[in-house]
Amino acid sequence: MDTNKQDLIDRFIRKELSEEEESNFKKTLIEDQEASENIELLEHTRRRLGARAMKDKLISWGFTEEKFQKEETTQSNKQIKLWVGLSAAACLVLIFMFNVPDNNSATDQLDNYNPPSFESPTVTDSLQSQPEITDSITPSKNELIDSLQSIMKNL
């Protein structure tokens, strides 16, 4: 294939030909199998190069194996949380179902429980009820003399 034809093919692939040039060029392709195949290959190549450029962009954006692993970990953690939640809910349901109520049950006891009334004595009351200290520990002078006299008599 000569250089001029290759240049023409390149311009065709790069969409640089005018409408008239393109129309004339397409007519020549009907009988030129080599050029047709070259164009087909170049068109595939051009698209794959574009796709490859996007693939590089995706990698730079982080759409790699690591993102899959991260997503898998997140999903796995979500599943674990879901299972734990479901198990807990199931346990509560089982406890509720098998816990037959009776008279001695804690709930009944709680319901029947009457707390004793408790009235704290007022401060003044308690103080008034106490005996006077002076009366009890300070006997009069006469009482002391009488006591001594009786002790002496007994001696």
Counted residue by residue, the chain has a size of 155
Chain centre distance of CA 11: 58
N- to C-terminal Cα distance for the chain?
A: 159
For another protein, the binding residue among 23, 28, 71, 77 (CB under 8 A) is 71
Token couple for 153? 């008599």
- Applying CB under 8 A, which of residues 28, 68, 82, 85 lies at the interface with another protein? 68
- Candidates 21, 23, 40, 77; binder of another protein (CB under 8 A) is 40
Footprint of another protein on residues 72-91 (CB under 8 A)? none
Question: In terms of CB distance, is 52 or 81 closer to another protein?
Answer: 52
14 near another protein, judged by CB under 8 A: yes
Dihedral of CA atoms 25, 31, 32, 37 in degrees, nearest 10, equals 90
Query: For another protein, which residue of 21, 23, 24, 47 counts as binding (CB under 8 A)?
Result: 47
